[in-house]
Structure 1
Amino acid sequence: MPRFAANLTMMYTEHGFLERFAAAAQDGFKAVEYLFPYDFPAATLKALLAEHGLTQVLFNAPPGDWAAGERGIASLPGREDEFRRSVDTALEYTRELGNRKLHVMAGLLGAGQARERHREVYLQNLAYAAKTAQAEGVMIVIEPINTRDMPGFFLNRQDDAQAICAEVGAPNLKVQFDCYHCQIVEGDLAVKLKRDMPGIGHIQVAGVPERNEPDSGELHYPYLFDVIDQLGYDGWIGCEYRPRAGTSAGLGWVKPYLKNQA
């Protein structure tokens, strides 16, 4: 039976961020994820998790200047020291919040920039992140993101992400399989899940193409959830979508699963 985590960056936006923990718990979620925790003290977030009986599943390492349009720094030449500091900062939060998975964003490849140089830096930074996180019992995940939502993002395909993980060779470096992004770029999700499951560290879902609830659009998620179950995935599935209207009103698709998750 799949287990689902509410993504508090995209869901429950009708509430302030700190109020979203209570809202998710009230609707039956037992776990949460979000993009970034760094606007709040780790102790504040830890207290909310404990108060509402929630497990922290995942968040992202600091991505550079998000407000200025940066989307990660792991592949950016000249930012290696900043990247290492970002990993250290993220791991400080994992110690408090308890999540065993940390997403490291690759960053954008600008026009005219050498992809091979970015890839070289990316592999070196991922090796550092994985080694540093391994000492904390934390898995590093990398995510292919579609170029429609994030033009210029360095990593777009599942096979490329898997190849990068294999080249780095760290046991705690895996791929974040976002069904929404994968469908837009590649499709053929069930085959890719079967092909890559040993190298998949986290899964996320959303409807395609609007990125709303996964109960409409071109993907048939009940079938994919069965495939994921049959493949033995025992992690949480992040609900990284934008509700069509109120978050709680749109949870009919997940209610049967929430009733049975631990």
Structure 2
Amino acid sequence: MVEPTPGQADKRDRPTDPPSPSEGVSRRAAEVVKIRALISPLPASFRGSEAYLFTAGVNIVVFFLLFQPWVVAIGRTGKITANAFGRLYVSSGLTNLWSASPPPPANINGTWAVLASVAIAINVFAVVINLQARSDVLSRVAMGSAVAPAFFVVGALVQMNTKLSAIKRMVGYGNPRDVGNQIGMVIRWASGNGSYPVPGLRQVQYSSASLTTTAWLEGALAVLSALVVLAEWARQRPAAGHRQRRLRVKFSQPPSGSDRTE
């Protein structure tokens, strides 16, 4: 066994110097930064844009819901659904096909849905580009295009609600005194696809046209997206005003004595 020399024994027995407080603080700060980088759910480019990313994601869902049925009507001759663009899906036995005055089709204007789609597309592109550009102009565009779909979707809801009665008439009997309607009802009864309506013979149950759960969910999501981005704008506005006041104070300070010319 090799015995340590006197110099080595002195170094081994000498206590190590404790780290300085500044070194300990810097180490802890570095560890905190590493831990935050590991547990952070978003990349660095996403930080500060969480509200805009949320509204963009919600607006994408709103866009796809525009193509789902917003109105459903079940009448005595069939069923009909319609989406926000005015596209009708009809399932009918054509009882009133030979009618002299069949129910007119419901005229649904899809302008509100088209405007909402355009605003959503602008919002998504503005948010994605602004993740790297960090432009005030793009931030305002993203905010405006996130609020606009709420107005357009609410407008579409109001329009669809006013068209419920017209959609319901499309799957109704129409004029019962019309000879064409009577022939259609007799053919339907004879072919076993339904009963002939006789007053007072039996109780009949039917429902009127109504907005679907998808339509109400669409409106709620659009309004939620607008409220989130408005709350983010209100939160950032005091900070921006404070920075502007500091800049005005800085530039309004008089020059120091050393900079003045005699």
The two structures have a TM-score, normalised by structure 1, of 0.20
Bigger proportion of residues as helix: 2
Bigger proportion of residues as strand: 1
Between the two structures, name the one with larger relative contact order (CA 8 Å, sep ≥ 6). Answer: 2
